[in-house]
Structure 1
Amino acid sequence: MAIHSTELSVDSRADIKNQKLPLAALLALATAVFITSLTETLPAGLLPALSADLKVSVSAMGQTVTIYAIGTALTAIPLAAATAGWRRKRLLLTAMAGFALANTVTAVSTNYPLTMAARFVAGVAAGLAWAMLAGYARRMAPVHLQGKAIAIAMAGIPVALSLGVPAGTYLGETFNWRTAFLIITALTIVLLAWIATTVPDYPGQRPESRTRMLQTLSIPGVAPVLLVTLVFVLAHTILYTYIATFLDGLGMGDSTDLVLLVFGVTCLLSIWIVGVHIHRRLRALTIASTLLVAVAATILALMADSPALVYAAVSLWGLGWGGAPTLLQTAVGDAGGESADTAQAMLVTLWNAAMAGGGAAGGLLLGILGPTSFPWSVLMLLMPVLVVVIAARVHGFPTRRVSTAG
């Protein structure tokens, strides 16, 4: 009996090692992430045309990005609770259908209030999607590959920032801004079919297992991860939102596209590195991520008169930031355990609140201290982030990570 039991144990371990990731399904999730990120940021590259067409100021049109983030921040937690019992595929299809509707209305709208309403709906759809995407990716993978699964799904973010936004801006300038939004709708329709045919379905939570927000916050490790998320994203957004303004002040305004391309490419490299090592080195990677962005901010604060050093700093920034969504979502999922979905919804809410706050804070800094204040503010905000990550060595960012089954 003992020998038989050992053989089963060995076979079981062999089966686990031989398990592979469902790449087609994970790439569908990555495309969903790409669409959410592109929908959020695309107006930034099309603001002059949008404002001219809808007959409002550029600054008023810029609020299309803010209203999207507000829609996500306000609805992620309540929608996650309200739809906890839904089957996961049904929920994902509903969220992506929301994007198709919102982007179509945006493309055909001829008045500002309707456009803003459509953008708010897109933000709501994003809140629905973001609260579940990381958890969905985790459930598709064996425990030892969960970090890599999330990394693949989250790759849609830097792809959207480095390739999607410039491509959308080019299409808007070559044809018109409405074409850019209609193309996103067409891609979303293709994605709906892709999800329906390749993505596995999973049950939602039982109603009696839903955890209240305060109960989730009391779980050891959840609060530190959420605090790190809030401050880290705030720091990043202040600089990223106003990167064109910052580069203009350095005389590098004409190189903004190239700078963002370098940032995006190094983000992709960061995601690959994190995906390979996250299972065993989540804590070390999070510390390294914070330090890399801090070093980048230091270079931009002290040595930005050299274009070569600016590119070096942006490369370090991308290496530090690219894997951050994967690291933070994995950390909060691990800490949340059975309440991982609720913890993810809270992370999404804080993430978007930080994005909205970063835009506002950056505007204030620009008006009061000028663009040179951006890297200094990043550096100051990252100091408490590093302290919290280092201190949360037992829960949140533990020295030894114990994966949960998602």
Structure 2
Amino acid sequence: MDTITLAPSAVAAGKSQRLPVVTLFVFALIGFVLVAMETMPAGLLPVIAIGMGTSEGTVGLFVSAYALGTVLVTIPAITLTRGMRRKALLLAAVLGLMLANSVTTISNDVILSLVSRFVAGAFSGIIWGMLAAYGRKISPPRQGGLALAIVSTGAPVGFALGTPLGTWLGSAFDWRWAFAGLTAVVLVAGTLVALIAPDAQGQPGNSRLPVVRVLRIPGIAVILAVIFTWMLAHNTTYTYITAYLRATSSTLTVDLQLFIFGIASIAGIVLTGALLDRHPRLLLHGSVIVFISAAVMLLAGHNSTPAIVVATVLWGITFGGASAQVQAALTSAGGDNSDVANSFLPVAFNVAIFVAGILGAALLTHFDGLVMPIVMIVFGLIALLLTIYGRRTAFRIQI
């Protein structure tokens, strides 16, 4: 259990004088589940299709339905619930996520499964929209960046270990066991939140802005543009990494490259945690520059396995820290409306995922997989220019 010593002023503010490390890692565990839950069907397409007597294309809609739920529900849900106390809202969303995933686990009907995936995505968006601000609210102000970095570890670990583990479990036994395992992890995480997580106040009614006005807060639109372009650059290549490797002379396999990427992402989180509180703007500029450099190396060194491995490590390091860096910027720029500002983040991420799938598919009808690092370079450069443009409003020195 977290050891938390509260002063009267800290109690009023909902902040502890010590970093609530255990609670923050529980938040990271929830993030791990959200990533694994969204992406796991992609690794289980054949077995789910056989088990449900449908096509792989239909099962692929399990991912789309989840993403659609996140995109459509997150912002209005966060807007309607920003006056609620954070712990109660998180527990309610975790319970909803667990129930929706349980329906997917036992359902034999495709339509019911798609509906349950949509609902799970909706609850996922609510959780993503509040985790960052909740983590900072219960942490000392001087360690806000470190708190965000800890909470953000769940996503890269989910990419590195959660999805492959779920795919192996579903393939070795039954795909329903993979979904049931995620439900069990959600139950454990929710129980820990109920037992040890400090509570935090919602947003007072007189300080809330309409959603449109939150978007107009200086810096918010620029940050969202950076998220979209950076994640579009990332996801187009990540989604079609098989096509890229097929166009190279490398002996590297897809599963090994993604594993290397995931481990490097965890290293990126550690690096971000060490630097985010002291050098947030420099860290962001440097991350995007290294991301572009990795793309150049993927293109120029496509006939060299060592070059691809090095590029993958650099790529993973930059991706691992990206979430914490942009969440810190949104939280800082959003101020009292940081919960709503952060609710735009999963929407921007999922729209980028959606567009990346379409863009990559369109490009591969005319080019081979080497076009993917070119996409990374082009949109990475746009993201870099946006970080420079927004250095005074969106990416200030202090977070």
What TM-score range do you get, normalising by the shorter chain?
over 0.9
Query: Unaligned stretches of 5+ in structure 2?
Result: 1-9, 11-15
| 1:156 paired residue among 141, 154, 157 | 154
Q: Which moved more, 1:253-262 or 1:177-186?
A: 253-262
Identity within the alignment, %: 36
Distance in 1 (CA, whole Å) between partners of 2:178 and 2:251 is 24
Residues 389, 181 of structure 1: CA spacing in aligned structure 2 closer, same or farther, 3 A cutoff? Answer: same
| 1:117 paired residue among 115, 118, 122 | 115
| Structure 1 segment 140-289 matched on structure 2, within 5 A | 140-250=138-248, 255-289=253-287
Distance in 1 (CA, whole Å) between partners of 2:92 and 2:40 is 22
In the TM superposition, residue 56 of structure 1 has moved relative to its aligned partner by 2.6
In the TM superposition, residue 391 of structure 1 has moved relative to its aligned partner by 2.0
Distance in 1 (CA, whole Å) between partners of 2:389 and 2:314 is 24
Determine if contact 1:27/1:152 at 8 Å carries over to the other structure. yes
| Corresponding position of 2:339 | 341
- Superposition TM-score, scaled by structure 1 size: 0.91
In the TM superposition, residue 19 of structure 1 has moved relative to its aligned partner by 4.1
Code of the residue aligned with 2:364 in structure 1: it is L
Determine if contact 2:276/2:283 at 8 Å carries over to the other structure. yes
Distance in 1 (CA, whole Å) between partners of 2:20 and 2:79 is 28
Determine if contact 1:75/1:124 at 8 Å carries over to the other structure. yes
- Superposition TM-score, scaled by structure 2 size: 0.93
Distance in 2 (CA, whole Å) between partners of 1:243 and 1:253 is 14
In the TM superposition, residue 253 of structure 1 has moved relative to its aligned partner by 7.8
Partner of 1:280, secondary structure, is: coil
| Corresponding position of 1:41 | 39
In the TM superposition, residue 133 of structure 1 has moved relative to its aligned partner by 0.3
Residues 365, 59 of structure 1: CA spacing in aligned structure 2 closer, same or farther, 3 A cutoff? Answer: farther
In the TM superposition, residue 369 of structure 1 has moved relative to its aligned partner by 2.1
In the TM superposition, residue 302 of structure 1 has moved relative to its aligned partner by 2.1
| Corresponding position of 1:383 | 381
Distance in 2 (CA, whole Å) between partners of 1:368 and 1:124 is 36
| Corresponding position of 1:7 | none
Partner of 1:250, secondary structure, is: coil
Code of the residue aligned with 2:81 in structure 1: it is T
| 1:393 paired residue among 376, 391, 394 | 391
| Corresponding position of 1:98 | 96
| Structure 1 segment 2-151 matched on structure 2, within 5 A | 19-151=17-149
Equivalent pairs counted in the alignment come to 385
Distance in 2 (CA, whole Å) between partners of 1:79 and 1:39 is 20
Code of the residue aligned with 1:287 in structure 2: it is H
In the TM superposition, residue 213 of structure 1 has moved relative to its aligned partner by 2.1
| Corresponding position of 2:330 | 332
Query: Unaligned stretches of 5+ in structure 1?
Result: 1-11, 13-17
Distance in 2 (CA, whole Å) between partners of 1:190 and 1:110 is 26
| Corresponding position of 2:6 | none
| Corresponding position of 1:15 | none
Partner of 1:75, secondary structure, is: helix
Determine if contact 2:247/2:368 at 8 Å carries over to the other structure. no
Determine if contact 1:211/1:342 at 8 Å carries over to the other structure. no
